[in-house]
Amino acid sequence: MTEESFGRAVQIIADRRSHAKVQHEERIQEIEDRIPEVTEINRQLFRTSRNLMEIIRQGKDASQRIERLREQNFQAQHMVRQLLEKNGYPANYLEMHYTCEKCQDTGYYGGTYCTCLTELAAKLSAKELNRSVQFENYSFDNFSLQFYRGQHGENGKDCYQAMERVLCFCREYAMHFTPSAPSILMFGKTGLGKTHLSLAIANEVLRKGYGVLYDSTINFLRQVEREHFGKGVRDDDTLEALLSCDLLIMDDLGTEFHSQFYQSAVYNIINTRMNRRKPIIISTNMGYDEISYHYDERITSRVFTSYTCLQFLGTDIRVLKKQQQRQSFRKN
Ligand SMILES: Nc1ncnc2c1ncn2[C@@H]1O[C@H](COP(=O)(O)OP(=O)(O)OP(=O)(O)O)[C@@H](O)[C@H]1O
Ligand SMILES: [Mg+2]
Ligand SMILES: [Zn+2]
């Protein structure tokens, strides 16, 4: 999480709090204008508690009166709620309404940052990290199964049927996503829609309000490396974001295995997220043998045994699209 996004999150939460206050005051004003009985009850309560404060200030024993006041207060609140309902308002209309009831929009809870603050900051910093991707271009709706029709994979597998299942799985995955959803390994040759479907998932999951980080594996690792060796301005922000976001999408795994640092970073990310039960979507051009050959067994055994493996089949869709364009160009 970057300092900048944390600062902005603090600001947004402070704004929420003052907004809640302003709205609360507006509601009080509205009710005082419309239901004079409520105003009267509030005034009486105010008087009683002021008297009580005076008694306490004079050092007299006020325990009995405090008890009575508490009782009065309780009854008054009950009456106010009834009056509100009788006049067509929700019973809790005069209470403060916070975006986060837990910390009452202060950003702090139980002596530390409230999750509403840390989650907002993570989301803002995810937005920064994802800035380069045009998510809108990739959806389930513009993913067509027609490109896979009539084709067969190496062992005679029907590509259309296989990809129909892949599409169906991804749709369901996105629709029912929770931060403890399973991890996915998408593998298959180039141009078959791995990036397209992972971004379609990202779109849905972002729309649900979860934090998603997407980039090519090598870009993520370069950034982590820059920060690790202190060449970047921000210290370890990216790694922490990669470890803690709701959904991490590491595209194009497979060009980084020559570096010891990258290998151990990949291991760290996969392992830590697995321990935290947080999902990753990894996509790669490598097949099972290649992955096993290039990566440490500690990584491969984890991925192959606990990820949902989706094999992409067919013919490079970039090529098919070009052919279609040429054909329609000739026709016109
Ligand atoms: N089923 C599909 N329907 C429509 N467009 C598709 C489909 N599959 C892929 N495309 C488009 O084809 C191009 C290549 O797809 P994509 O980038 O998802 O392939 P990939 O499997 O990630 O390839 P690589 O392994 O090279 O990264 C993209 O522009 C993508 O939007
Ligand atoms: Mg791709
Ligand atoms: Zn909170």
Cα–Cα dist 111/103, whole Å: 11
In this prediction, residue 166 has a pLDDT band, given cuts at 50, 70 and 90, of very high
Q: Residue 173: is its pLDDT beyond 70?
A: yes
Choosing from 133, 143, 195 the residue with most ligand 1 atoms within 8 A of its CB, the one to mutate for a pocket test is 195
HEC states along 103-151? CCCCCEECCEECHHHHHHHHHHHHHHHCCCCCHHHCCCCCCCHHHHCCC
User: Do the Cβ atoms of 249 and 280 come closer than 8 Å?
Assistant: yes
Exposed/middle/buried for 318, CB within 10 Å: 0-12, 13-18, 19+?
Answer: exposed
pLDDT for 236: 58
In this prediction, residue 293 has a pLDDT band, given cuts at 50, 70 and 90, of confident
Output the CA–CA distances (angstroms, integers) from residue 101 to 23, 97, 105, in the order listed: 15, 8, 7
Instruction: Give the DSSP H/E element, type plus range, for residue 308.
Output: strand 308-312
HEC states along 9-24? HHHHHHHHHHHHHHHH
List the domains of the chain with CATH numbers: 3-112 (no CATH), 130-325 (3.40.50.300)
pLDDT for 232: 47
Across 92-107, average pLDDT: 93
Q: Of 6, 222, 15, which Cα lies nearest the Cα of 128?
A: 6
pLDDT tens column, 57-76: 888 787 888 888 888 888 98
Residues with CB under 6 A from ligand 1: 142-144, 147, 190-196, 252, 285, 312, 317-318
Task: Give the side-chain half-sphere CA count within 13 A for 173.
Answer: 25
| Ligand 1 closest atom vs CA 317 | 12
pLDDT tens column, 131-141: 667 777 889 99
Ligand closest to CA 109:
3
Cα–Cα dist 121/142, whole Å: 32
Across 198-227, average pLDDT: 88
In this prediction, residue 17 has a pLDDT band, given cuts at 50, 70 and 90, of very high
| Ligand 1 closest atom vs CA 148 | 1
DSSP string, 292-306: HHHS-HHHHHHHHHH
pLDDT for 42: 85
H-assigned helices in the chain = 3-34, 36-57, 63-86, 115-129, 159-175, 194-207, 217-228, 237-244, 260-275, 288-294, 297-306, 317-331
Choosing from 151, 159, 196 the residue with most ligand 1 atoms within 8 A of its CB, the one to mutate for a pocket test is 196
pTM (2 d.p.): 0.67
- Ligand 1 center–CA 318 separation, angstroms: 7
| 31-35, 120-124, 253-257 — most confident range | 31-35
Q: Residue 143: is its pLDDT beyond 90?
A: yes
Across 151-176, average pLDDT: 95
- Ligand 2 center–CA 230 separation, angstroms: 30
